[in-house]
Amino acid sequence: MEKLKEIKKSSKKLFDGRLIKVKIDTVKLPNGKESTREVIEHPGAVAVIALTDENEMILVRQFRYPTGEVLLELPAGVPNKGEALEKAARRELEEETGYYAKKVKKILSGYSTPGYSNEIINYFIAEELTLHKQNMDEDEFVEVDIIDLEALLDLAYAGKITDNKTIIGIMMADAYLKGKV
């Protein structure tokens, strides 16, 4: 594996925002040549696979400005500084959907786009749900949608769901309910 590693020689910060940082690094390649890498640094996120007793998933629809579309997505968000991932998953689910999960279990972590970002998404299964009250951020506008898992699988396979974390969440929900996770 060491023979594949790239070594950072220099780094220049281009943007330091509220959520992300953007930099361009010069790296030494395994063959000794140099190249550049454009990198987005992200603090990481949680995504919640909220399952009802009827094998439905609780999802949100929201407009995503970079895509220009309303997307169907798992409830998700960024943990607050110092916040435990499990607590962040519970908080994001309740803020976005109004549902509280008595049972939350981490099942997967993975890079969202490792070609240019270090963002890791931590996936949680949430069960034993009770409806409380939505408490969205003031700049957040979402609609809650509860959809049968089989219908979601059909939508994912047909290419009707275009958010990758949600596609992964649907597949993980199916595996979880079949005892594979």
138 flagged as catalytic: yes
Per-chain mean pLDDT for the chain: 96
Please name every residue paired with 159 in a beta bridge, in sequence order, or none if there are none: none
pLDDT tens-digit series, residues 107-123: 999 999 999 999 999 99
User: Which CATH number applies to 45-177: 2.60.120.560, 3.90.79.10, 2.60.40.1260, 3.30.460.20?
Assistant: 3.90.79.10
CATH 3.90.79.10 intervals, the chain:
45-177
d(C-alpha 73, C-alpha 98), whole Å: 15
Catalytic position from the list 73, 138, 143, 150: 138
Q: Which of 70, 17, 78, 71 is nearest to 45 (CA)?
A: 78
pLDDT band, very low/low/confident/very high, at 163 (cuts 50, 70, 90): very high
Which stretches within 22-102 are classed as H helix?
85-97
- Cβ–Cβ under 8 Å, residues 93 and 75: yes
Q: With a cut of 90, say whether residue 134 has pLDDT above it.
A: no
Q: With a cut of 80, say whether residue 1 has pLDDT above it.
A: no
Q: With a cut of 80, say whether residue 80 has pLDDT above it.
A: yes
